Structure 1
Amino acid sequence: MKAIQTILCLFLITSQGFSQEISERDLECGTPEMDAYFESDKPWFLNNNYFLEVLQRYGYDLPKDYFDSIDERGHYKGEKISLRRYKNDSLLIPKLKKGNPNSGRISAENLRLLSLINYIPLKVWVHQNSSNVSPFTQPQIFEVIDLVNELFANNDVPIRFYISCDITTIPSSLYNNLPSENSMNAMFNNFQENNVINLHLVASGFSIGSSGTIPSTNLFITPSIVGGEANRGLLVHELGHCLGLFHTHARHCSSSSYPNGNQNCNNCNQESVSRTKTQGLFCLGTGTKKCEFNGDQLCDTPAEPNLIGGFSASQYGVNESCQIVWPNLKSQDNWGDFYSPMQFNIMSYARSKCRNSISAGQIAKMLSYLPSFAHSSSGYQITGFSNVCNNVQYSYNVPSLQGITSYNWTVPEGTSIVSGQGTNTLTVSFGNSVGTNKELTVYPQGCGYPPVSIPINVRNFISILGPTSVGPTSTFNYSTQVIDNVVYQWSIPSSWTMQSGQGSHTIQVTTGGSGTYTLSVSASGYGCSKYAEIQVNVSGSGPIQRVDFHSTNEIPPNQKEKVHEPFKRELVKIIIIDPYSYFNMEVQSEEEFKDLYLNLKSGFYIIQKVYTDQMTTLKYLKR
């Protein structure tokens, strides 16, 4: 095997030793700013569009003009988009069901990348004080790493972190307190393992954190005593440096002003609010976009001043409610445009508890640096059901892994653990509030195995999807939500004919004569019982034409839909169905449909157009 570069990100976490003034604020990170040409040997230097290829390989689908159509807030100017990877709601990580539906050919490597969650191992070192008191308990260590992983999952970043092997405790450590960079470097040299991120927990340090360089092989942080979300914000910020990210207020100029940041640079070195402004005639990089040359060199993170504000609490640039306090910040760039910073970005200097968002460019850059880090996908899976009922007990299992003596399970909020925590088999009951698109995860406690997850979709109820106004002797499909390990029993009117599907969640039926009828379904099994019914009106003199899902139509943004319809008919309604969540919406006109379309997230939709004498059913792709 190829030797993999050693990763030595080190973290200092504290719950003591600050004055009241300092304990309530987030001191700045000690990571130095990089020169503008620091990444000049990288293919993405002065070329954000390179990241579109990276994102596509990992399953994201963004418009081709994404980086060229960003506004001053870092938002895409076109239609509303959702930064999500292609994946099926029954997908078991790392098993892949399908890749990018728009690509004519997908290589085996791209299919692999689409399916992976990349796990980076952490080696944890706990530096105790002279009384052998640890700065963090083991539950607190697990909590902060879990919170970082949750933040990455919420932003659909295919990277996770896990504790590799045992946590090592150093009694009476010389590095329980780090007064200087020299002591930090000595700790880096004396305590490290190869092919992991070395995570060092100490009581205090000379700043809240530093990675030494970007990307980093050495890193430390000290947490806010506020705990929880603030600790997460500190840790994820420094991990961002470790994975190649700059500060969103990064400066590429010398400045003695406090706070140091982009706002104090001259015209050649300041990132402008405008996303299209270019470097001037006498500047380095003349003619290149300033958002690619200055600041963090990512155009989808807006230009910003240093959000830390001043030294005192009354000068903070972001308040406790995560709102920007403009009197404490420089509000305009050198060209008079007003800043629109993203205070929630993980690489900002907003309060640590506010940091929870990651841009597409930042995700792509971290993925571009990923090969430099020891990482792996899981080699085992959780067995169990993904599509489940509420208030029913389910069991989940992983193989008995060699060298693993304990298994730590995390479950979606609203889930009760019935038994099995610490073992390789867990029994749970999902409450009414769990919902869909959640994850159940197991963390083997020992060496060599990353965590693995299974998607969870809790069905509190079922509903029947299909036309409610049809013609006599017409053939249609009716469906309901998928629940694993249940039997579906459909009841249809005696004058109708069941063509196929009895026992499954989708049936095909042919209607009988005119009238109003009830169609129902019950789903039962494994302790689960659900029921739904729908009223169907059959009227007219003949069958309504049935059109199968015969094509995929991409709707050009902000343009009229171009769908061939052979006859002009009176439109009754349009039904928009999300085939994965089975959520559906109805509108009464083409104009309402176009307005609704602009607010839909990216993905596939089933569109049913119901006319007075016909219904057309199509699959649409929304970018």
Structure 2
Amino acid sequence: MKLSFTKYFATLFILLIWSTSLFAQNLIENNCETVTTKDNIEHLKSLRLEMKPYEQDFYNKQYAKSSKSGKTINKIPVKIHIIRNSNGSNGLDQYQLEDAIENLNSIYANANMQFYVFEEINYIDETNSYDHFIKGDEKNLLETNYAAGIINIYFTNYIENASEQSICGYGINQDNKKLILMKNNCATNNSSLAHEMGHIFSLVHTHGPSSSTLTTELVDGSNCDTDGDGICDTPADPRLSTKNTNSNCEYIGGLTDANGDLFSPDTENIMSYSRKACRSYFSTQQLARMYAFFQADINGFIQSDNNIELNEDYSVIEHDLKTISIYPNPVIGHKIQLKDAQGFSSLTFKIMNLQGQTLYGGTISNSQISIENLSSGSYILVLTNADSRIIKRFIK
């Protein structure tokens, strides 16, 4: 009897350990559930010849010596959907959204892209979708909550994959639809939203299309244009993770490629599975590809006449006006003080909200701009003279 009793508790203990381990696995948060499909790859291949001159154009602008060359900023509309409880409570708040868009724009500025919120935010009050969104549920959302012809981003509290694991988000670019599902606390971690947007603009994970097998890209780079992510200034990646990347953003894995060479991946690349806090930039060739993909497939991003107004190109010439700054920022009082603005003739301004709507504008006098009629919040200031234009963000 004593032996059976002991066996009973031993079995119970093993089951407890097993169930705890299973529960812990279910709490593991995966980086991304975006799948690069064969259709995605074929679509990219179909555009390659058309993209080549755009990539070269990007490089020419990137490395141009002349200060008069300027950079064309492509304004890209995004439709925002915020999922909340059925009673309208919770959900991503305005400040979190502003921070997410601001961070996205700071990263994509190097690709000559700027995202703006198209029209009003669409709130979806559905508790089940807020508390427990399962990958695949977006099909139900698209029936009544989708703006055709532009990128749609959905923010919710919790997203789970088919294996019941918590995930940060995923992107879909197929069937003439471009959308991102993003977990709220991942939207503000400074890399996940930019990662998913990279997929929308044709980028593949640095470890390649498959997240379950070791990349065939070689460390020596000899097949970099055909294997892995197909980009040659991103080193071969054996699939980075929190297990093989330490808190100092150093790769500590020991895997080797087919030639026996030790992998040395870039732990700071946004399209990797590295620690989210480590990811901070796109490589030059990644930037060129996104820029070229947008130019070659522009009708897939801007199809509606309703969003043409804010999509006009403008040049940001990186001399002269770049010396102007807003001080202090956040602004104190009811006037913007422009530092180092003296000496610029015919300097005009335009103030916009983060949705891209122009609120008012005029000519600058005494290096000051009145904002007396603006409510508290974040805004965009556009400064222009005969030679150049520059954008500043300020907070009142």
TM-score, structure 2 as length reference:
0.67
Give yes or no for the alignment of 1:357 onto 2:290. Answer: no
What corresponds to 2:272 in structure 1?
348
What corresponds to 2:245 in structure 1?
318
- Give the alignment partner of residue 240 of structure 2, picking from 307, 326, 330: 307
Contact 1:406 1:422 in 2 (8 A): no
Residues 591-610 of structure 1: pairs in structure 2 closer than 5 A:
none
Quote the Cα distance in structure 2 between the aligned partners of 1:236 and 1:260: 23
Shift in Å, 1:129: 1.2
Give yes or no for the alignment of 1:181 onto 2:127. Answer: no
Contact 2:32 2:169 in 1 (8 A): yes
**What amino acid maps onto 2:154 in structure 1?**
H
What corresponds to 2:224 in structure 1?
291
Give yes or no for the alignment of 1:32 onto 2:39. Answer: no
What corresponds to 1:271 in structure 2?
217
What corresponds to 1:194 in structure 2?
148
Distance 1:161 1:85, change over 3 A: farther
- Give the alignment partner of residue 98 of structure 2, picking from 133, 139, 142: 142
Shift in Å, 1:164: 1.4
What corresponds to 1:397 in structure 2?
349
- Once the two structures are superposed, what CA deviation does each residue of 1:272-300 show, in whole Å capped at 9, x if it has no partner? 11212xxxxxxxxxxxxx22222111111
Residues 209-608 of structure 1: pairs in structure 2 closer than 5 A:
209-213=169-173, 217-224=178-185, 228=188, 230=189, 232-251=190-209, 260-263=212-215, 270-276=216-222, 290-308=223-241, 316-326=243-253, 330-370=254-294, 371=298, 372-374=300-302, 377-378=311-312, 386-388=322-324, 393-394=337-338, 397-398=349-350, 404=357, 406=359, 420=371, 423=374, 441-442=380-381, 454=390
What corresponds to 2:114 in structure 1?
160
Structure 2 SS opposite 1:237: helix
Quote the Cα distance in structure 1 between the aligned partners of 2:37 and 2:193: 20
Contact 1:272 1:303 in 2 (8 A): yes
Contact 2:156 2:184 in 1 (8 A): no
Shift in Å, 1:221: 2.1
Structure 2 SS opposite 1:347: coil
Distance 1:274 1:400, change over 3 A: closer
Question: Aligned residues: percent identity?
Answer: 22
- Once the two structures are superposed, what CA deviation does each residue of 1:140-160 show, in whole Å capped at 9, x if it has no partner? 10101101111223xx21011
Quote the Cα distance in structure 2 between the aligned partners of 1:87 and 1:178: 53
Distance 1:306 1:356, change over 3 A: same
- Give the alignment partner of residue 208 of structure 1, picking from 157, 168, 172: 168
- Once the two structures are superposed, what CA deviation does each residue of 1:201-222 show, in whole Å capped at 9, x if it has no partner? 1111113222235796232122
Distance 1:337 1:386, change over 3 A: closer
Quote the Cα distance in structure 2 between the aligned partners of 1:136 and 1:400: 22
Distance 1:418 1:322, change over 3 A: farther
Quote the Cα distance in structure 1 between the aligned partners of 2:24 and 2:381: 39
**What amino acid maps onto 2:137 in structure 1?**
S
Contact 2:111 2:290 in 1 (8 A): no
Quote the Cα distance in structure 2 between the aligned partners of 1:213 and 1:399: 33
Higher CA-based Rg: 1
Quote the Cα distance in structure 1 between the aligned partners of 2:182 and 2:352: 35
Structure 2 SS opposite 1:122: strand
- Structure 1: where are the runs of 5+ without partners? 1-18, 62-82, 89-96, 99-113, 253-258, 264-269, 277-289, 310-315, 408-416, 425-439, 444-451, 457-623
Distance 1:367 1:172, change over 3 A: same
- Once the two structures are superposed, what CA deviation does each residue of 1:96-141 show, in whole Å capped at 9, x if it has no partner? x33xxxxxxxxxxxxxxx6410111111111111342232110110
What corresponds to 1:44 in structure 2?
48
Shift in Å, 1:379: 6.4
What corresponds to 2:77 in structure 1?
121
Structure 1 SS opposite 2:114: strand
Shift in Å, 1:453: 6.2
- Structure 2: where are the runs of 5+ without partners? 1-22, 161-166, 303-307, 329-336, 342-347, 361-367, 383-387
Quote the Cα distance in structure 2 between the aligned partners of 1:405 and 1:377: 13
- Once the two structures are superposed, what CA deviation does each residue of 1:170-210 show, in whole Å capped at 9, x if it has no partner? 23355224543331221133311123221111111113222
- Once the two structures are superposed, what CA deviation does each residue of 1:341-396 show, in whole Å capped at 9, x if it has no partner? 111111100122222121222122212221232176446899x9544489794286
Distance 1:199 1:400, change over 3 A: closer
- Once the two structures are superposed, what CA deviation does each residue of 1:442-477 show, in whole Å capped at 9, x if it has no partner? 38xxxxxxxx96168xxxxxxxxxxxxxxxxxxxxx
158-167 vs 170-179, greater mean Cα deviation: 170-179
What corresponds to 2:56 in structure 1?
56
Contact 2:169 2:180 in 1 (8 A): yes
Shift in Å, 1:86: 5.3
Contact 1:210 1:238 in 2 (8 A): yes
Quote the Cα distance in structure 2 between the aligned partners of 1:55 and 1:220: 29
**What amino acid maps onto 2:171 in structure 1?**
S
Contact 2:72 2:315 in 1 (8 A): no
Contact 1:129 1:172 in 2 (8 A): yes
Contact 1:31 1:210 in 2 (8 A): yes
More helix by share: 2
Contact 1:307 1:318 in 2 (8 A): yes
Quote the Cα distance in structure 2 between the aligned partners of 1:441 and 1:388: 14
Quote the Cα distance in structure 2 between the aligned partners of 1:59 and 1:251: 26
TM-score, structure 1 as length reference:
0.44
Residues 97-116 of structure 1: pairs in structure 2 closer than 5 A:
97-98=68-69, 115-116=71-72
Structure 1 SS opposite 2:137: helix
Quote the Cα distance in structure 2 between the aligned partners of 1:378 and 1:213: 24
Contact 1:121 1:164 in 2 (8 A): yes
Structure 1 SS opposite 2:129: coil
What corresponds to 1:536 in structure 2?
none
Distance 1:356 1:84, change over 3 A: farther
Distance 1:338 1:224, change over 3 A: farther
Structure 2 SS opposite 1:318: coil
Q: Quick one: higher RCO (CA 8 Å, sep 6+), 1 or 2? A: 2
